[in-house]
Amino acid sequence: MPKLSCRLISHSVGQHEQQIYTGLLMLHRRGLVDVTQEIVELGKVVGGGGGRTRRLGPAQVRVVLNNSLTLHYDLHDSEKIDEVLLADTDCYFKRSFSGSYVRNLGSDRKKVYPSD
């Protein structure tokens, strides 16, 4: 089985992000993924197209697998979802997931999953 290429994009070492970092490190040490990390400044543009751009905020982590599949981890203690980042990702994992909030997101709601 070939290794996955995993590019981690973040700027924070907050408490909630540690689970993501630890899990990727464990997979890397087992030889299942090759992990590279890009530390970005708070507010760096990471998503959005069509004239809509969004900046990576606190408690958010992006993971790009094999330079094609984009995962976004939104670890805020809020049900709100950044709809611009959601539109620019393949899977959006939400820490404070609210099914009733997600149901109102339109067609992109299919990409939102609880992160726990």
Residues 97 and 86: beta-carbon distance below 8 Å: no
How many residues can be counted in the chain? 116
Global pTM reads 0.85
74, 94 contact by CB (below 8 A): yes
Instruction: Please count the helices (runs of H) and the strands (runs of E) in the chain.
Output: 3, 8
Residue extents of the structural domains in the chain:
4-114
How do residues 26-84 score in pLDDT, each as one tens digit? 999 999 999 998 887 766 666 555 555 556 777 889 999 999 999 999 998 889 998 88
Three-state secondary-structure class, residue 54: strand
Do residues 72 and 86 make contact, with C-beta atoms less than 8 angstroms apart? yes
| Residue entry with tokens 């611009």 | 84
